[in-house]
Amino acid sequence: MDKSTYNIKMPMEQIRNIGIIAHIDAGKTTTTERLLYFTGQVHKIGEVHDGAATTDFMVQEQERGITIMSAAVTCFWDYNNKRHRINIIDTPGHVDFTAEVERSLRVLDGAAVIFDGRKGVEPQSETVWRQANKYGVPRICFMNKINLIGGDFEHSFQTIRTRLSNKAVAVTLPLGKEQQLHGYVDLIKMKAYTYDGVDNPVLTEVPIPDDMKDSVASHRELLLEVLAEQDDVLMNKYFEGEELTSDELYAALRKGTLALKVFPVLGGDSRTAMAKTLLDYITICLPSPVDIASVKGVHPKTGEEVERHAKEDEPFSSLVFKIVNDPHIGTLSYFRVYSGKIDAGTYVLNSTRNIRERVSRLVLMHADDREDVEFLKAGDIGAIVGLKDSTTGDTLCDEAKPVILERITFAEPVVSEAIEPATKSDEEKLTDALGRLVKEDPTFRVSTNQETGQTIISGMGELHLEIIVDRLKREFNVVANVGKPQVAYRETIRKVVDQAEGRYVKQSGGKGQYGHCWLKLEPNEVGKGFEFKNEIKGGSIPKEYIAPIQKGVEEAMKSGVVAGYPVVDIKVTVFDGSYHEVDSSEAAFKIAGSMAFKEGCRMGTPVLLEPVMKVEVEMPDQYMGDVTGSLSSKRGQIQGSESLGNGISKIDAIVPLSELFGYTSELRSITSGRGSANIEPSHYADVPKNVAEEVAGKK
């Protein structure tokens, strides 16, 4: 990598921090690879199927041909006589690694969403689109693989408009389809261009073909209408029939895209010179750090709102969004600088944890390659080497002007399995390795089963845990045996319990123990979690014993009364009790709180909850009956089905996770290897009584 890249003094307006997001197999990594090639950042193209892509540098990624960890790369692109720095994060498409997309979108300014031009919008496309909506990320769309059999820009474009947003407008149209794809029409310049073969950077201008003139006219009309709406001056010119210049249209396109009122769509084969056009539109449409609204946070001591702007002269503030354990240099903490400047060799405040951290080295990342730099400034994405205690979601800031930025929220893991070291000598190594992986991955959890003493690992799916076990072996030299995957059940109550008593009294010579409280338990809204309220009046329980009661409740919540699974979505109010001047203690009230909670749960019609998955299956029409029957036998509810054309049908269903282990293999066997399923978490639902009894019995 050119070591002088960072020393180019680049105005913030010429920086783009973007993510490449999509459903699995739409061509994200291939697209990233071509962007790097056409910008001159790599001189040899690495193919995903050969395991040689720049951003897929993990062994597991190379073997499986999928992206597991998001990777950051930097490249430069000249547009309009200005050099732009584009920081790209290539994200995974598989639902098990959705946290990688979540944390990347939290710190990025814009995104390029890649679609498979044969299928258009797929299940994970909807998920990443929702994640981008959540963080208000402007995006452009690229309809890839139009060159393959079944590639259809028009059909795929309509799926974006109907399923994701009717604000999507085409800015280019492909010339030819399937194997005849050979160029595109730019609807703003109203010019056609052809390219010759893959990896050839040359674009040749040609006349717009006669047989495309109607299609070009209707798409251009839609584009002009949408762009005219972005600007009053343009609107007047448009209605008066005046010619709109390319510069005016580009300015309106940028304005609309930044305001999330327009989603430009391009189409073609990203392995061709089309990738250069995509780079142009990334530069034209997507925001620079200056275009993003200021970030808001709170002052750690006063709780007052604090605002930070993307300027170098503001106090330093940044967010850690990813931790990676590098075997050669230790911990790498990826972070986004929102304001100010950070120098290597200085100290910063981790305001989330109220600790000082030393910034020993600063690096710019180029996948698994690093470039040392002396400083990073507002708008930059880089990494710090060797932070000791900072984790994902922590704020690093100026010690004199502290701020805590909004954390990143992640989905709860749904699959667990027991893990144990293969040999006694691996025991300590396993504990250390799991600790490091937990720090890296916010959707990976490790706990101990109190009854059996087993170590339990939990994650987002079977593939997620499979990769974790594989990494233990390869990166940490720990061989581990794992049990069968288990479902992460939960428990809750369905009835309000007005009075539940917890009374702990122990008199056995010397100082006694006395704790006594009354609790009210109520079901909370789904997803609201645990709430605790203190409504003690008249001092029946002294203030200092309220926190221990809450602690007792929280500990009791770790194992419910139905089958010993964690209790969720419950509201607990302490409203009465009594104490003893001499014998009362925090420990006694903690036990009393725990006893009252357990008692209340038993009276509150407790239920077992299970994760239910949204399942989409695509298969040839002739297997429709077999697949429907198979899903129904798994307590699945069929939500609908549709024909996708070309003899392929799709079924939507919701199915309990416990019934889906090994389903991919079963589907392959039912459909002679021609069916595919997309499975993602949907919600938690009550477990039928007979199944709940069986689960409780096993537990």
Confidence check: pLDDT of 516 > 60? yes
Sign of the alpha-carbon dihedral angle for 224, 165, 642, 122: positive
Considering only residues 332 and 46, tell me which one the structure prediction assigns the higher pLDDT.
332
pLDDT in tens, 173-230: 998 888 888 889 999 999 999 988 777 778 888 998 888 889 999 999 999 999 999 9
When pLDDT is averaged across residues 626-638 and rounded to a whole number, the result is 92
Confidence check: pLDDT of 3 > 70? no
pLDDT at 396: 93
Considering only residues 410 and 492, tell me which one the structure prediction assigns the higher pLDDT.
492
- For the record, the structure tokens of 689 come out as 């009584």
Confidence of residue 47 (pLDDT cuts 50, 70, 90): very low
Quick one: the chain helix, strand, coil %, rounded to 5?
Answer: 30, 35, 35
**Residue closest to 256 by CA, chosen among 140, 370, 354, 348:** 140
Confidence of residue 61 (pLDDT cuts 50, 70, 90): very low
Confidence check: pLDDT of 538 > 90? no
pLDDT at 548: 95
CA distance 621 to 625: 9
Confidence of residue 518 (pLDDT cuts 50, 70, 90): very high
Q: What percent of the chain has pLDDT over 70?
A: 90
pLDDT at 74: 79
- For the record, the structure tokens of 60 come out as 């597991």
Confidence check: pLDDT of 550 > 70? yes
- Say whether 555 sits in a helix, a strand or coil: helix
CA distance 179 to 145: 10
Confidence check: pLDDT of 117 > 90? no
pLDDT in tens, 411-466: 777 778 888 888 888 888 888 889 888 887 778 888 886 656 778 888 877 778 88
* Main-chain dihedrals φ then ψ at residue 178, nearest 5 degrees: 50, -135
CA distance 482 to 458: 12
15-29, 74-88, 262-276: the lowest-pLDDT one:
15-29
18-32, 377-391, 473-487, 571-585: the lowest-pLDDT one:
18-32
Where does residue 261 rank: exposed (0-12), middle (13-18), buried (19+ CB within 10 A)?
middle
pLDDT in tens, 328-376: 777 888 888 999 999 988 999 999 989 999 998 888 876 556 788 888 8
Mean pLDDT over each residue of the chain, to the nearest integer? 84
pLDDT at 241: 83
pLDDT in tens, 140-184: 999 988 888 888 899 899 999 988 998 999 999 998 888 888 889
Which domains does the chain possess? Answer: 5-291 (3.40.50.300), 295-405 (2.40.30.10), 418-486 (3.30.70.870), 491-604 (3.30.230.10), 609-698 (3.30.70.240)
Confidence check: pLDDT of 253 > 90? yes
pLDDT at 98: 63
**Residue closest to 141 by CA, chosen among 178, 101, 102, 169:** 169
In DSSP notation, 671-689 reads TTT--EEEEEEEEEEEPPH
Q: Report yes or no: 356 and 394 within 8 Å, Cβ to Cβ.
A: no
Strand order of the β-sheet with 172-175 is 172-175, 183-186, 191-194, 204-206
Confidence check: pLDDT of 562 > 70? yes
pLDDT at 451: 59
**Residue closest to 614 by CA, chosen among 664, 654, 644:** 654
pLDDT in tens, 660-677: 887 877 888 888 877 778
Directed axis angle between helix 98-107 and helix 123-134, to 10°? Answer: 30
Rounded to two decimals, the pTM is: 0.69
When pLDDT is averaged across residues 4-33 and rounded to a whole number, the result is 74
